[in-house]
Amino acid sequence: MVSAELDDLILILRDAMNMTIVVVTHELERLRKIADRITVLDQAAHLMSDTIAARSAPAITRASSPCLTVPPRNEVSTPRNIWND
């Protein structure tokens, strides 16, 4: 099964069975297609949670969204309120 078919299956199950489905991905286009809400983690630290609609204007990209900026791996990552950074 390819990624697009899996995405379609996730949407069908979600809608038909009113299911909550957790998907772990680094593919931003996939997030835009299947997600209602997103949570961004880095080294177990919670960076942000929000709806796709709230984060889609401008489009979610690592380069354009300060909330998706991840600290370098050599820095200790601690939970923080990214909305106030």
- Quick one: pLDDT band at residue 53, thresholds 50, 70, 90? confident
> According to the model, what pLDDT value does residue 44 have?
85
Region for residue 61 given its phi and psi (left: phi exceeds 0; alpha: psi -120 to 50; beta: otherwise): beta
pLDDT, tens digit, 9 for 90 and up, residues 54-84: 876 544 444 444 454 444 545 444 555 544 4
> How far is it, in rounded angstroms, from Cα 13 to Cα 23?
13
Element (H, E) at 51: strand 45-51
pLDDT, tens digit, 9 for 90 and up, residues 7-38: 999 999 999 999 888 998 888 888 888 998 98
**Boundaries of every domain in the chain:** 3-71
